[in-house]
Amino acid sequence: MLHLRVISPAELSDDVLKTIDQCLGVVNLVVLPGAARSPVGDLIQFDVAREAANEVIERLQELGLHADGSIAAEEIDLSLSEVAERAQEEAPGDGDDAVVWAAFAQRVADDSRLTWAFFAFLMIATQLAAVGVIVNSPILIVGAMVLGPEFGPIAAICFGLLRADWGLIGRALRALAVGFAVAITVTFACALAARWLGWIDVGSLNEHKEIEFIVKPDKWSFIVALFAGAAGVLSVTAGKSSALVGVFISVTTVPAAGYFAVAAALTRWEDMAGSVTQLGVNIAGMIISGTLVLLVQRTYWSRFGMRLPAAAKR
């Protein structure tokens, strides 16, 4: 279930309540006339089955509430109510499969912004991957995979392709390009300093059999990226964020960036080419499969879940 909080101008409240009454899956409706102060209006709160949320949100937006009032939604962790259970049963589909498109759109828009936190996580992850490359530690490589924040912009690109939103795609591509450029540059500078100090040399990357997959992309790299992209988008749209950890561990984007920086500092041109190819293969695979998953989900919910029939409240 989702909990929706709506602030409606007084002149729109009757239309808002009429709209809510016509939607399936809505329960626990509370109306507090004149309770809202900023913006001024009536406070309307209710719960809605996740699989019916798109219809409700879309109809409220059609009334202009996102411009003249406010629409906010949050997940309900616990709901002990037989009325709520009946509401979920009457709504088509299953809540775990439902995509709340407005929430997904806001999330990918936030994740595609260039922020200090994004830079910091990507730089730390890339440097951690570089250390893992130098000391031949798969554990550090896995840690770098988990820490990297790059899936957010990739999901934004997938959503942008689905909606032909070139502005969102451009922002997400910029986040990836600038983020990886800064992270690789900083890691390259650190690796170069380590070389000058004598901590590493040209032979430091020899005999690293356990992590050589980073610079040897093949068909399996692309197949794994396809699986990871599909699983990543599903985990975000279905609200199963814990599954993202498995996605991060599956792909070698950040490790490839770290390997590239170290190889550049050691002037190992072949390894540089292999790592940048691996980075490109993984990003491309995730974008392709992520976009296809979103397309399937949109097609499914447009037929069975996004346009719900009007129904009188019980």
The whole-angstrom separation of Cα 283 and Cα 87 is 40
275 class by beta-carbon count within 10 Å (0-12 exposed, 13-18 middle, 19+ buried): buried
Mapped onto helix, strand or coil, the DSSP state of residue 129 is helix
Sorted by where each begins, the domain ranges of the chain are 2-96, 104-301
Residue 313: per-residue pLDDT = 36
Collect the ranges in the chain with pLDDT lower than 50. Answer: 305-314
Domain 2-96 falls under CATH 3.30.70: yes
245-283 tens-digit pLDDT: 666 666 788 999 999 999 999 988 888 999 999 999 999
Residue 308: per-residue pLDDT = 39
Task: With 0.85 as the threshold, say if the pTM is over it.
Answer: no
Residue 148: per-residue pLDDT = 87
Residue 307: per-residue pLDDT = 44
Rg of the chain over CA atoms, in angstroms?
A: 24
The whole-angstrom separation of Cα 246 and Cα 222 is 16
Residue 248: per-residue pLDDT = 66
